[in-house]
Chain A
Amino acid sequence: MLEVKNIVKKYGTNTAVNNLSFTVDDGEIFGLLGENGAGKTTTFRIIMGLLEPNSGNVLLNHEKIDYSKTDKIGFVTEERSLLTKLSVQEQIEFYATLKGMEKQEIDKRLDQWLAHFEITGYKNRKIKELSKGNQQKIQFISAVIHEPKLLILDEPFTGLDPINVKLMKEAIIDLKNKGCSIIFSSHQMEYIEDFCEKLVILVKGKPILEGNLKDIKESYAKKNILIKGDIDTDEIKKIKGVISVGLEKGEYVVKIENMDVASKVFAKIKNNNIIKYDVEEPSLNEIFIESVGGIHE
């Protein structure tokens, strides 16, 4: 279990992380969201023990993280962190040995992982000869080959096609099922929604929204009504509490300020020819944009 307790990190007068706390249980995937420069990398570096926080602490299984614990942590950085002149085998051996593994064990597990990602033939190829997607797979393998207790994934799906995203998702779920605590960061909210039970959104180092994803969505006042059928959009827009009305994939999407507005919209259209009326939670993307108040990638 990872416990991040009230960490604060300052660079001069700039506060990179401001009183951040969260807990990731064993076998749980936790989402750490924020726009660029929100403090995610600093948080990861503090968790990895690369940076000392000004205050607060980070515990892994109730113990402070230092170099005697980092063998239990895996880290996929946002940018590729591979020595491109090395071969796949040399690269994995290098990182895995730094994690305290023995050569025989590394070779055995490497073969299994290469087979999982269907890149067995690339074992002796130089990293620089691989495509971006395959480099990303190698980076992922290097982070998980030692079967970490804590895995930090910063944009792990970068450069992967849908088939390989599926393979990597399976691997992540498998690790989760084995009890690994996973911190996940991505700009693609659908991945967060797919994976994370809990999350925190950082803005300028400060957590502005945190908790269980389901609860966050439920407690979020704004909802979306999906309507399929014949409606007068101008009439609906006049209803107090309706934010906008749009058309997506043949369905009207009516954004409303709160649940009370849903019944007013229904009252307005109930006599029309309607084949679908569904009130749903807003997407994480909407919540993120609303929370951050800016544009993200």
Chain B
Amino acid sequence: MNKKFWYLTKLSLNKKIKTKWFYITNIILAIAIIVLVNISSIIEFFGGDFDSQTNVVVVDNTNSAFEIFLNTINSYDNEDITVTKSTESIDTLKENLEDEDLLVVINSDSVEYLKAEVISENAIDALTYQIISQALNTTKTTVGMISENIDPSVLANISQNITIDRVILNEEDSTDENMNLVMSSIFPTLILPFFMLIIFLVQMVGGEICEEKTTRSMEIIISNVSPKTHLLSKILASNVFVIVQSLLLILYCLIAFLISGSISSASSIIDIGGIMNMLNASGVVDKLWIIIPITLIMILLSFVAYSLVAGILASMTVNIEDFNQLQTPIMLITLAGYYLSVMAAMFDGSIFIRIISYVPFLSVFISPTLFVLGQITVVDMLISVIVLILFVWILLKSGLKVYKVGILNYSSGNVWKKFASAFKRSE
């Protein structure tokens, strides 16, 4: 029986891997990831400039605002903006204005101290406009205070940023509020491939079982191996497949970053160094030794749970339409887990999100995110793992009985009724 189990597993795995579509998909994925990570170098190679410089030409009609404006812009430490002063006429400057140029005209105003005009050939990106308008506001405030004869030392103190000494009493909590922003941008990116792999997994396990059932080969297979052997072989093959696919994705990313590091001096679209600095400063790196092993365990257990449910539901179906109907709730649960994870920072450690982080299927998305955000502790993560283990055990114990009944049921009744009936009969 053991031999047949490994044979079925190998056959199922070969059906997924030894296909031209697997190779084509992976070639496309590898190219897409390498191109995405190196997009700035590629654009530069073809003569473009991904991080284009914005030249801000200032016409200062007040004769006092330019220096303040320049110092303000420089204080933002933004290398993409260069500021120069011009004495040419505005009409001449307008005529010579290029796409990446910005003309800022600063005029005196008796009531508002300063007024400004920002001229460009086309619309500019929101960040650049925000920097320019913020610098103009600061310039206006400074000019106003000078004109009102405020002492320069007082003016300097007023202009200086406030000194904040941030103290959080909960040692487990993140010491950086910016972490919420980081998590809401980094985690969705990290979780997205996992989310897609779960969808893959559900469709692979269900689709294969459904195919064997609709072609009636299931009767022959089940007459030679037990339903348990059959289902477990499908689950193992599909899980090995998604793990192989995950490793390949990681490999493509590594290759992409290696290429990026070796060929490009330009700033990459993904600022790995910046992200790492941010993670380091927020204390996440110190938690990695806990997060990585527990998350890996949760991922593996969740893969098994998702594939078990997909297999059990597929055993009730007699055609692919039935299976599509049955897998919809799984997709919705997965989607809910993904969005809850993305929005985890918003819940601010509420009881609701903490309880949700224990729920199998959802826990794998939410629990690691909440832990990184400092909204739950390692104990909560371990509770999620224990709940997941219990859930998988219950699925194996009860689900296999349902599978055994459902796998030979070819009635065309409502699939959910069939599921309930199979569950009843299995008891």
Contacts and interface: CB of A to CB of B under 8 A. Distances in A.
Contact of A80 (B4, B216, B218, B408): B216
Q: Which of B8, B215, B221, B223 has the most CB of A within 10 A?
A: B223
B216 A81 contact: yes
A36 to B, nearest CB: 14
A95 B215 CA distance: 14
B134 interface: no
A71 B216 contact: no
Interface stretch (A44-52, A116-124, A188-196): A44-52
Contacts of B221: 98
B177 interface: no
A84 B215 CA distance: 8
Interface in A92-113: 94-95, 97-100
B11 interface: yes
B211 A98 contact: no
A interface, by DSSP: helix, strand, loop or mixed?
loop
B225 A77 contact: no
Contacts of B222: 50
Nearest to B3: A100
Contacts of A67: 1, 224-226
B332 interface: no
Secondary structure class of chain B's binding surface, majority of residues: helix
B219 interface: yes
Interface residues of B, number: 21
Contacts of A97: 4, 7
A103 to B, nearest CB: 11
B224 A82 contact: no
Contacts of B7: 97-98
Interface size class of A (residues with CB under 8 A): 20 to 34
Nearest to A139: B220
Given A70-B224, A94-B11, A75 B219 contact: yes
B212 interface: yes
Contact of A83 (B3, B4, B217, B226): B217
A149 B213 CA distance: 26
A100 B217 CA distance: 17
A79 interface: yes
Contact of A50 (B11, B216, B223): B223
Contacts of B11: 94
Interface string A50-63: 11000000000000
B216 A73 contact: no
Contacts of A51: 408
A77 to B, nearest CB: 6
A71 B220 CA distance: 11
Given A50-B222, A77-B219, 9 more contacts: A45-B408, A67-B1, A75-B220, A81-B215, A81-B220, A83-B217, A97-B4, A98-B7, A100-B4
Please name the 10 residue pairs, one residue from A and one from B, whose CB atoms are nearest each other, closest first.
A98-B224, A81-B216, A48-B223, A81-B217, A79-B216, A81-B220, A83-B217, A70-B224, A97-B7, A83-B215
